[in-house]
Amino acid sequence: MNKDSGCSGPATHQSLTVDEARRIILDTVRPAGGWERVALRSALGRVLAEDIVAPCNVPAHDNSAMDGYAVRADDLATDAEARLQVVGTAFAGRGFSGIVGKGQAVRIMTGGVMPLGADTIVVQEVVRTEGERIVVPGGIRRGQNVRRAGEDLAEGAVAIARGKLMGPPELGLAASLGLAEVTVARRLRVAFFSTGDELASIGRPLAPGEVYDSNRYTLHGALNRAGCELVDMGVIPDRQDALETAFRNAAACADVVLTTGGVSVGEADFIRELMQRLGEVSFWKIDIKPGRPMAFGRIGKTWMFGLPGNPVAVMVTYYQFVLDALLKISGLDPLPERPLMSLVCTAPIRKLAGRREYLRGRLYAEDGAWKVRPASTQGSGILRSMSEANCFIVLDENRDDVVAGDSVQVQLFDGLV
Ligand code: AMP
Ligand code: MG
């Protein structure tokens, strides 16, 4: 591979660890650029393409965090009750227009603007009324239960930084600033195709020796979740000319091309050779199970990932190598953390040291504690295992057999927000 290509990596055939392969990919890919203005609701799941600087304070005024009374701390004692005259009421959205003088208080509801003169909110639960007056206990802290102007977002400060994924909290934050539109990164265009003479598309009966193409559907789901625009190019047979045309068409229209199958060293495996001829490519044997062979490179400005063919290997390599690359190319910055948690595994696992394994696991609660067990069958062709699972059990390179009761590392499939 050309060293100046921006796609440099170890030579073909070299075996890499998962961490090495991830680092090379993530150090190599660059944000694609491009942006558009969208209505706030449409920004969900998009990457913010410019800093949002707060045009105002949120909240705009000091206001009450509780239902109660707005008082002057100077009127209160630390160890004795105080009697105050109630001179008016402040509601959220309809304030008290006067000034709270010495010995006075204003009834106030949550969100009501702090009346002039008052500096402290006493919650109604601790107050006794005596006709027009209230009795406030001693020991109230000055400034208690007051929400300060700008304490959520301060005017002039960066409220949401460029590169942030717009999720539910960010939609709400932008709305709290009154923003009807935001600038988001252009959606990535990802072209993908399956390769294999044995593959049939859904909707027609299988001929002898055929299997339905499932990889395009798992990728359809995963790429949609990642916010990409999809170019589904169907099934391409194991023929050099057909594959070359597919690669050229994909590279001409997409930011990223994903292929599945044909990337190992069988007689009908042309992907690596083609990628090398059309562009620049690193081909790796990765010390990973499942998903050992993988190609990564580019044709012109288009990034290419040649994933293995086995359905579980496709999903493992997609989530461990491709997803974060897509997010980086989309402009996400920083990339999400991928936490691993240590949990007790309640079944034994056979494991060879020397490679990292991603087993499909199921978290479950038992006796008040969360534990994990491997899915019943683990073959790289058993796609059902992904569906049964809610996490990967990640067994590091230097680990060997797991005994029931051992702690293992777990990577969750789902986040919450
Ligand atoms: P390959 O890497 O092309 O040798 O494929 C490895 C295994 O995965 C073979 O058993 C293929 O039939 C199977 N396979 C490849 N692509 C697909 C696909 N798109 N859907 C389902 N199975 C596939
Ligand atoms: Mg094949």
Q: What is the Å distance from ligand 1's center to 194 Cα?
A: 8
- pLDDT of 185: 98
Q: Which of 288, 221, 302, 224 is nearest to 258 (CA)?
A: 302
Among the bound ligands, the one closest to the CA of 310: 1
pLDDT digits (tens, 9 = 90+) for 241-282: 999 999 999 999 999 999 999 998 888 889 989 999 999 998
Who lines ligand 1 at CB under 6 A?
Answer: 194, 196, 198-199, 211, 213-215, 260-264, 266, 308-311
Ligand 1 pocket mutation, candidates 310, 312, 318, criterion most atoms within 8 A of CB:
310
Distance CA 372, CA 136 (A): 54
Q: What is the Å distance from ligand 2's center to 208 Cα?
A: 16
pLDDT digits (tens, 9 = 90+) for 289-344: 998 899 999 999 999 999 999 999 999 999 999 999 999 999 999 999 999 999 99
Among the bound ligands, the one closest to the CA of 263: 1
Ligand 1 pocket mutation, candidates 260, 272, 305, 386, criterion most atoms within 8 A of CB:
260
Q: What is the Å distance from ligand 1's center to 376 Cα?
A: 22
- The stretches in the chain having pLDDT less than 50 are 1-11
Q: What is the Å distance from ligand 1's center to 328 Cα?
A: 28
- pLDDT of 284: 86
Write down the residue that tokens 């709290």 correspond to.
Answer: 176
Could you tell me which residues are beta bridge partners of residue 144? Answer: none
Q: pTM for this structure?
A: 0.93
Distance CA 304, CA 207 (A): 31
Q: What is the Å distance from ligand 1's center to 331 Cα?
A: 32
